[in-house]
Amino acid sequence: MGTVTEYLEGVTEANRAILERIVGIARELAPDAEEGVSYGMPALLVDGKGFLSVQETKKHLALYPFSGQILPEMSEELGGYSWSPGTLRFSADNPVPDSMVRRILETRLASIRK
């Protein structure tokens, strides 16, 4: 499937900026993250483990933190979004606030680096 950078080049222009913003936050938090593949998706990897993937689908945008524990712990804060333990779904009309993205990614980074 290619790298995160290659994937984002193929995303529709309207959604690309939103997904690039999320990837930018991830790169800020983990400047050592490498591009690769995790669970068949282009991903940022930290210490060889999936850190973040973002995807554009026909119905929504999605953030994958490669952990089933993070989003359930934030369930009260995720009230306006569709989510499952490993996926946060959102749209260009209702993007995820930077503060929430940062919290999700900081939590995932801490779990990787334990």
- pLDDT, tens digit (0-9, with 9 covering 90-100), for 2-40: 799 999 999 999 899 999 999 999 999 999 999 999 999
- The span from the CA of 90 to the CA of 46, in Å, is 24
SS3 17: helix
Contact 60, 82 (CB under 8 A): yes
- The span from the CA of 67 to the CA of 64, in Å, is 8
Identity of residue 61:
L
User: For the chain, which domains are there?
Assistant: 4-112 (3.90.1150.200)
Rg of the chain (C-alpha set): 13
pLDDT of residue 1: 52
pLDDT tens sequence across 26-75: 999 999 999 999 999 999 999 999 999 999 999 999 999 999 999 999 99
CA-wise closest residue to 72 among 59, 88, 61? 88
